[in-house]
Structures are given as C-alpha cells and as structure tokens.
C-alpha cells in the first residue's frame, strides 16, 4: 500500500476517534500559549496546566512578566522542570517581544524561532494553534507513532515533519497533529504497547 493511501485511512480512523481536538495547554492568547508551550518541554501538559494559573495570575503579558525577576519566575515554574533555563527564556523573550514586536507575539517562524527558548516545534505549535497557520509540530510522541506506522524512516523529527507533510493534506495538519497526540496517549503508548489491540498499529504497525 502506498504511503498516501495508508495516511488517508489512518486519518479516517483518527477523525472517527477524535472528531474534536481541544488544545491541551490552557491559555487565553498567543502570549500565554507561547509560555505554556515553552514550559511543556520535558514536562506533561497536565503539570503545565497546574502551574500556569499561578504564573499568569502574576503576569499574563510581556510587560508584567519582565516586572518579575528571573528568580521569581523560576520559583513558580519549578515543578515543570528545567526551571533555571525556562525562567530565563520566559523573561528574555518577554523583553524582546516588547522591544522588537510592540508587545505582540510575532506571527512568523523566523521571528518566533529567534526568541530565547523557542525552537521549531514550539514555533509550529504557536503558528498553528494561535494563528491558524498550516504547520505540523512534531514532538517525540508524533515522531514515535509516525515511525511505528511506517510513514517515516524515523531518522529525526525534521525528516518526520517533512514526510508527514508529504502524505497528509495541508488543510488537515493543524488538527491532525493534535489527533495523533491524543491517539498516542489513549491507544499507542511508548511502554506497554500492545500492537494487536491498537486501532492503527494492528493494521499498519511496522514495529
């Protein structure tokens, strides 16, 4: 079966299982989404959603955020892990958003990826979920599932993103990346995965 045919059937399964795809990270605007995504690195969305209300109560915009010290930010976000680096990045990106972008989160990959702590995956999430720009954020979970399904050779997330964009219609990317994340959590975990009981791996699983 050709990859595009396989992808079409996989997408049909995902559409049936997850017709609605709420954004997992709680936020109120592009800035709070950006901060939440940055915090989610090597941290669960559930933990981030427990921490961000405390942070955003103190500062939910760049101007208020830079009024806090890096140490104050670090104390609040400590449960998310990597707090020394994340707190510095949050403070610095807030300063740059104010100085270079008039206090508004920039709406280009180039400008987003120039901000401290913001890599391509984080920029892709913000571009797709905050601004509706077609993007396909690939994290380790999507990378793992795409490899399991034989849609990519699994060499790296950059290659996986390119391969997935080639087999799925652009109009579906923003919803699809969330569907794959939800599917992985419910049916296709990294550990204890049973191929025969997985709605997709039982049909197309290669590993």
Residues 6, 45, 139, 175: which is the catalytic one? Answer: 139
In contact, 125 and 137? CB cutoff 8 Å: yes
Under 8 Å between Cβ of 206 and 149:
yes
User: What residues does CATH 1.10.1670.10 cover in the chain?
Assistant: 3-22+136-204
* pLDDT, tens only, 4-33: 999 999 999 999 999 999 999 999 999 999
Report residue 6 CA to chain centroid gap.
24
Contact of 91 with 77, CB cutoff 8 Å: no
Angle at 125 between CA 62 and CA 89, to 5 degrees: 40
Band of pLDDT at residue 190, cut at 50, 70 and 90: confident
Mapped onto helix, strand or coil, the DSSP state of residue 31 is: helix
Distance of alpha carbon 121 from alpha carbon 162, whole angstroms: 13
| CATH for the stretch 3-22+136-204 | 1.10.1670.10
* Tokens, residue 33: 């989404």
Cα 162 to Cα 2, 63, 133, 158, 167, distances in angstroms: 17, 37, 16, 6, 9
- pLDDT surpassing 80 at residue 1: no
Enclosing H/E stretch for 90: helix 83-101
Answer yes or no: 8 catalytic: no
Is 206's pLDDT higher than 70? no
Among this protein's residues, is 139 annotated catalytic? yes
Q: Which pTM was predicted?
A: 0.91
Q: Locate CATH 1.10.340.30 in the chain.
A: 30-129
At the top level of CATH, the class of 30-129 is mainly alpha
Single out the catalytic residue among 8, 121, 162, 194.
121
Burial 14-53 (b: 16+ CB within 10 A, else e): beeebeebeebbbbeebbbbbbbbbbbbebebeebbebbe
pLDDT of the residue at 19: 96
Residues 6+ away with beta carbon under 8 Å from 102: none
């Amino acid at each position: 079966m050709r990859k595009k045919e396989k992808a079409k059937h996989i997408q049909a399964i995902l559409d049936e299982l997850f017709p609605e795809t709420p954004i997992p990270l709680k936020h109120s605007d592009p800035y709070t989404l950006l901060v939440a995504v940055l915090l989610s690195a090597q941290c669960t969305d559930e933990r981030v959603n427990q921490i961000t209300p405390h942070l955003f109560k103190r500062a939910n915009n760049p101007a208020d955020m830079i009024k806090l010290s890096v140490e104050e930010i670090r104390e609040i976000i400590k449960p998310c892990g990597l707090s020394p680096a994340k707190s510095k990045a949050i403070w610095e990106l807030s300063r740059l958003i104010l100085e270079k972008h008039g206090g508004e989160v920039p709406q280009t990959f180039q400008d987003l990826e120039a901000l401290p702590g913001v890599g391509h995956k984080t920029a892709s999430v913000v571009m797709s979920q905050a601004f509706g720009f077609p993007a396909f954020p690939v994290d380790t979970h999507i990378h793992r599932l795409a490899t399991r399904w034989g849609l990519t050779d699994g060499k790296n997330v950059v290659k996986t993103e390119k391969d997935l964009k080639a087999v799925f219609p652009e109009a579906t990317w923003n919803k699809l990346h969330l569907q794959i994340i939800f599917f992985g959590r419910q049916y296709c975990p990294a550990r204890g995965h049973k191929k025969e009981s997985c709605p997709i791996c039982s049909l197309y699983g290669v590993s």
